[in-house]
Amino acid sequence: MEAMTDSLQDLTTMSHDLIFLHGGHQPRCVSTVNKRFDGYHALQFMTRGRLELWYDQRRFDLAGPTVWPTPPGPLIRFHRAPGPRKCPWWEHRYVAFKGAAVEHWKAEGLWLSGPQIIRNGAKMARRFDELLSRMQRTDSWGNRIAVNMLEGILLDLADQRGPANEAAGDPWLDHLLARLEQCIDKPETDYEQLASEQAMSVSTLRRRFRQTTGTPIHTYLLQLRMSEARRLLGDDDLPIKRIAEQLGYNDVFYFSRQFRQITGVPPATYRRSRQR
C-alpha cells in the first residue's frame, strides 16, 4: 500500500510539473517550420512522407515513420525533402509542452537526442491520437492520464533504442539512409555493396542498423517502399500494377501482400479510402 501511495504521489507531482500547450494532426502537411522553440519542448511524429530536418547545422533526412524532438535552443527547421522523390506532403502529428518533468525525463535518459525511426508507425499513430484526445480534457484526471501516456511513449522509444544505441546523426547512418532512399525501386538490394561503402561486413551493418534505429534494415526499407506506394496510391491514378512495377515488383500480387502486411489493408482499399 505504501508503494502504491508513493506511485500515485509521483504521478500527481509529474502532472503538476508538465503543462500541455497545444498539439495537432495534419494528414497532409505542407508547412515549413523554421524557428527556435523558446521555453518549451515538442515531440514531432511523421507517419509517412519525407522530410529534411536541421538542428542548427546538423542535417537529417527523414523517411517513413519517425519521431524527433524539438527542444529549446537550436534553430530548428524541417520541411519537405528536396530531390527527384520529393513528396508533396507528409502526415504530421505533434504535441508541445513545458515543465520540470522534461528535465526529469532527460535525467533518466528518456528524452530523445535526435530523430528515431519507429518500428510500428500505425501503433504509434494510435497512441498519439489518444494522447491528443486526452489533452483536450480540462479535468485533472485527463491531464494526469495525458502525462502518463506521454511518458509511456518516451519509455517505449527508449526501450527500442536499447542500451547499445549509438548517437543519432552518425555520418555512417546518414549516408546509409540516403542510399536506402535510392533502393526503393530496386527488386534486389545489394546489402554487400552498402556494407562495403561503410567498411563493414553485412552482418555488422545489419546489427549496427538495428541497434541504432530499433528496426531491421530490411524492415526499414520495406516501410520506405510502402510509404512511396501510399503516396502514389493517394496522389496518382496509375494502375496498381504500374505502381508495383515502379517500385521494383514483377509480381503485383506479391506487392499487394507486402502492402497489406505493412498497412493492414490491400492497395485498392487504401486508394478508395484516400479518395473519399
CATH architecture classification, 171-274: Orthogonal Bundle (1.10)
- Quote the longest CA-to-CA distance of the chain: 64
> Which pLDDT score is estimated for 7?
38
Complete DSSP assignment for the chain: -HHHHHHHHHHHHHHHT-EEEEEEEEEEE---EEEE-TT-EEEEEEEESEEEEEETTEEEEEESSEEEEE-SSSEEEEEEPPSTT--S-EEEEEEEEESHHHHHHHHTT-S-SS-EE-S-HHHHHHHHHHHHHHHT--SHHHHHHHHHHHHHHHHHHHHHH-TTPPPTT-HHHHHHHHHHHTTTT-SS--HHHHHHHTT--HHHHHHHHHHHHSS-HHHHHHHHHHHHHHHHHHH----HHHHHHHTT-S-HHHHHHHHHHHHSS-HHHHHHHHT-
> Which pLDDT score is estimated for 106?
86
> Which pLDDT score is estimated for 14?
45
CB within 8 Å of 164: residues ≥ 6 apart: 211
Outline which parts of the chain fall under CATH 1.10.10.60. 171-274
Give the whole-angstrom CA distance, residue 67 versus residue 245: 30
Outline which parts of the chain fall under CATH 2.60.120.280. 2-161
- Statement: the pTM of the whole predicted model exceeds 0.85: no
pLDDT tens, the chain, 276 aa long: 443 334 334 434 445 589 999 999 999 999 999 999 999 999 999 998 888 899 998 888 887 789 999 999 999 999 988 765 557 888 999 999 999 899 889 888 889 888 888 877 888 999 999 999 988 887 778 888 999 999 999 998 888 776 434 444 466 777 788 888 888 888 788 899 888 888 889 999 998 888 777 678 888 888 888 888 888 887 667 899 999 998 989 999 999 998 888 777 889 888 887 665
> Which pLDDT score is estimated for 58?
84
> Which pLDDT score is estimated for 16?
53
Assigned C-alpha cell, 77 = 527547421
CB within 8 Å of 98: residues ≥ 6 apart: 18, 19, 21, 39, 40, 41
CATH superfamily ID and name for 2-161: Regulatory protein AraC (2.60.120.280)
CB within 8 Å of 118: residues ≥ 6 apart: 45, 64, 65, 66, 67, 124, 160, 214, 215
Closest CA to 197 of 172, 180, 216: 172
